[in-house]
Chains A and B, each alone.
Chain A
Amino acid sequence: MLVNALRRYIDKIKPNVEKGGKFHFLKSTFEGFETFLFVPNTVTTSGAHIRDANDMKRAMILVVMAMIPALLFGMWNTGYQHFFAQGIEAGFWETFWFGFLRVFPIIVVSYVTGLGIEFVFAQIRGHEINEGFLVSGMLIPLVMPVDVPLWMVAVATAFAVIIGKEVFGGSGMNILNPALTARAFLFFAYPTWMSGDKVWVAGLANGMETVDGYSGATILGQAAQNKDTLVNGLGEPYSAWDMFLGTIPGSIGETSTIAILLGAIFLIFVGVGSWKVILSVFAGGAAMGLLLNAFGGNALLDMPFWQHLIVGGFAFGAVFMATDPVSAAQTEKGKWIYGFLIGILAVLIRVFNPGYPEGMMLAILLMNVFAPLIDHYVLEANIRKRLKRAKVQA
């Protein structure tokens, strides 16, 4: 059988990468591919004799699967926004195909750059390849504006993997979410490519011809300019349904709340994503939105609280970024606090800092930094409880 033949071939070339072999310097890379093809034959040696079938590869692949609805919608929406700007009527497949051709190269660049660096680092350390980048590599394209130059994606990915992750010791040791680190890097290094009203629709940044009076501004961008009615490129007002469905300009994967929610349901159901974080981010955003509505005064303050949850990167951040278990709070109580504060901060930054109309990224990165502190206090509370119990008994 083919499978057995493949296995035999791998076993045959394996001695070359073992210690003393000619290609020992490629051991991690070899193992990376080998374990990709075959779950290893390692058996338990200490402790529990049987183990849960779930492993890191499986868990990470499930997260990638959860992103697929947002990705597919993002591809279609890329085409849709493009043709809409030009006033061209295009069929479904034509629209999707256009988007696919624009988005796919970004995904390839992200994975090739990131995995390449991961392989090199694993090799230097003599470790196995970590699966963490399988997720980051998909997250990075989804939070990029579609017109971002490919070399920028490569630079940002390299920055995120090296500075955001490997310097701390690799997957599991990082403080910041790597995908958001990539986005933040571009946001501050090349702001003209990451904000404004030219970058969100494919072709616009390169001077594509559009219909008269077209504007590619995002909803938050318009609100930040204190426009009372939020309109699409042709000046027609957006409905809540447009925002929920996601037929609006924005980063590739962030626009469709419904596609993201599908992913959220999947993540929660398979038990990989934390529903506590997701729910509390939404709760925090809604609470802050309500509070600001009570004051009112300008377009952003008056923006209905529920709209905050379905425009911009709020939903995407809540479901795919805030839930990153490594950079989030690690205690269960801590997760509630962490998520709630992200929601509050995201809306707060959006409303009070018009320079950064998208507050989600900064809110999550900020809370990534504070997550260990939240955990510290949760653990301290547990410790105090234990000490108190000892004193009562003594």
Chain B
Amino acid sequence: MSEVIKIRRGLDIKLKGKADKIFIKAPRSKTYSVKPVDFQSLTPKIVAKPCVEVKVGSTLFYDKYHPEIKYVSPVSGIVQKIVRGDRRRIIAIVVEDDGKDTAETFKKGDPTKMSREEIVENLLESGLWPMIKKRPYGVVASPTDKPKGIFISGFDSSPLAPDYDYIMKDTEKEFQAGIDALARLTEGKIHLGLDASYPAAKSYEIAKNVERHYFKGPHPVGNVGIQIHKLSPMNKGEIAWTIKPLDVVTIGRLFMTGKYDPSTIVSLCGSEVVKPVYYKLIRGAEVETIVRDNLKQENVRMISGNVLTGRKISMEGHIGYSDTQVTVIPEGDYYEMFGWITPGLKKFSMSRSFLSWLMPNKEYKLDTNLHGGERAYVFTHEYNKVLPMDIHAVALIKSILVEDIDKMEQLGIYEVIEEDLALCEFVCTSKTPVQKILRDGLTMLRKELE
């Protein structure tokens, strides 16, 4: 093992309800959906109107500003409806599954023998391109970008995260094919971040064409943004691409079979789940298929993703495109008498404000209560404790609040997206909505520059 990059600042939030390492093949759900909201700042243009018949890999919609980037159906069947939210914003396109899995065919072959253009075109046509995201901004990459490298975090350190060494089992060939395809897309290297605390999955160990880096420490050590910061921090004007390991596998399968294989693995976890296990299912499945008769109570928050960055979904909702976990925790809509003065044995805090520090290994059942009201900034040392980057987060957030674009750039906004500052939001005594403010800042910046 090469040099280990150690990270000290951060916070592991130990929650109840970690998924047991058991694979269950989820039953097929009636409908599947692709949600434009899963892709940051995307303006969709609908192609497949309701009642249109689609195959696996048929285009459902494309990016209004990049018409070449297509988003495709994960199943064959009929477009059932287009769900719209406020101001007719498109939330989801729902496809009714016919169970036949008739599929569009795409180019098949050894990516090492293909040109960059061929690979790009195959990814665009098959609808897999949106799996590649870019820094800065955390939006879908543009095919014309010249990234300095492609960064993949091989593990996830967020609360109740799935064990990647487990879900990457038996994917050696597919992962390698995916890496080979990606390698043609950049003149830089492919960096693979691995957890130094555990032996890596075989897919990672034997992968060629990648540079392996080992990391150790508390969350957010598994965030690709933190890894980029340690390996090659983002400067103004630079672009880096990122992609999740399971998406690399899907890309690999495309080149091996010539088909879009939308199957993926999701861990169902959280304190309100009766049997937390791993599920094999198709991207965009109804969450109901895995939580039916599997919840301890009704008043819960269902999150597609983890508790820090995931998206709230309803019981009828669908699992997000690239999400690898569904977390179910209790809602916190209750009043607590004198809650601010109780000893707090069941309360979790980074500080030792509550007696729960007596039990460092306790697993907590945390709910969605905000635990207090929003205030002006008072404490200034908290963000620094959970952000292992050379960035002054409080100053950065303040620069966004006053809309000072120059200051944002200078203070390093290019290096972060929401997930990197999610812990700052978690620990904030003033309950500042850090992730939302940061996204506002990134949007502001992008409008200014693009």
Contacts and interface: CB of A to CB of B under 8 A. Distances in A.
Contacts of A294: none
Interface in B394-450: 394-395, 410-412, 418, 422, 425-431, 433-436
B310 A49 contact: yes
Contacts of A383: 410-411
A227 interface: no
A313 interface: no
A39 B336 CA distance: 5
B371 A39 contact: yes
A379 B411 contact: yes
Contact of A39 (B308, B339, B428, B435): B339
B433 A50 contact: no
A74 B196 CA distance: 54
A33 interface: no
Given A43-B333, A46-B436, A55 B429 contact: yes
A56 B329 contact: no
B351 interface: yes
Given A49-B312, A50-B329, A171 B369 contact: no
Interface string B267-308: 000000000000000000000000000000000010100011
A55 B351 CA distance: 11
A169 B376 contact: yes
Nearest to B331: A43
Interface stretch (B117-125, B200-208, B379-387): B379-387
A339 interface: no
A59 B429 contact: yes
Contacts of B436: 46-47
Interface stretch (A197-205, A304-312, A324-332): A324-332
A61 B341 contact: yes
B381 A50 contact: no
Contacts of A40: 335, 370, 372-373
A223 B271 CA distance: 65
Nearest to B418: A47
A204 B47 CA distance: 89
A382 B392 contact: yes
A271 B433 CA distance: 22
Contacts of B390: 382, 385
Contacts of A55: 340, 371-373, 429, 431
A52 interface: yes
B216 to A, nearest CB: 23
A170 interface: yes
Given A42-B373, A49-B307, A51-B426, A58 B340 contact: yes
A131 B378 CA distance: 10
Given A42-B373, A173-B376, A390-B236, A53 B349 contact: yes
Given A50-B367, A170-B376, A386-B235, A325 B381 contact: yes
A62 B353 contact: yes
A42 B341 contact: no
A14 to B, nearest CB: 12
A168 B412 CA distance: 28
A48 B375 contact: no
Contacts of A394: 235
Nearest to A42: B370
B352 interface: yes
Contacts of B352: 269-271
A172 interface: yes
A56 B340 CA distance: 9
B368 A47 contact: no
Interface in A376-394: 378-379, 382-383, 385-387, 389-390, 393-394
A54 interface: yes
A171 B307 contact: no
Nearest to A326: B378
A38 interface: yes
B13 interface: yes
Interface in B346-365: 347-354
B375 A56 contact: yes
A302 to B, nearest CB: 38
B151 to A, nearest CB: 16
Given A173-B376, A271-B353, A54 B381 contact: no
A48 B422 contact: yes
B143 interface: no
B166 interface: no
Given A39-B340, A41-B335, A53 B378 contact: no
A44 interface: yes
A53 B344 contact: yes
A38 B370 contact: no
B430 A56 contact: yes
- Tell which of A35, A49, A132 has the most Cβ of chain B within 10 Å: A49
B351 A54 contact: yes
A205 to B, nearest CB: 37
Contacts of B349: 52-54
A130 interface: yes
Contacts of A331: 380, 392, 395
A52 B427 contact: yes
A335 B293 CA distance: 54
Contacts of A131: 375
- Closest 4 pairs (CB-CB, A-B): A55-B372, A172-B376, A39-B339, A271-B351
Given A57-B340, A269-B352, 19 more contacts: A37-B337, A37-B338, A38-B337, A42-B370, A43-B301, A43-B333, A46-B436, A48-B308, A50-B159, A50-B307, A54-B354, A55-B373, A56-B373, A59-B351, A130-B376, A271-B353, A326-B377, A332-B384, A386-B412
Interface of B: 13, 159, 233, 235-238, 301, 303, 307-310, 312, 327, 329, 331-341, 344, 347-354, 366-373, 375-381, 384, 390-392, 394-395, 410-412, 418, 422, 425-431, 433-436
22 contacts: A3-B337, A41-B334, A41-B335, A43-B333, A48-B307, A50-B366, A52-B348, A54-B350, A58-B354, A171-B375, A269-B352, A270-B353, A271-B353, A272-B351, A274-B381, A325-B380, A330-B394, A331-B395, A335-B381, A382-B392, A390-B235, A393-B238
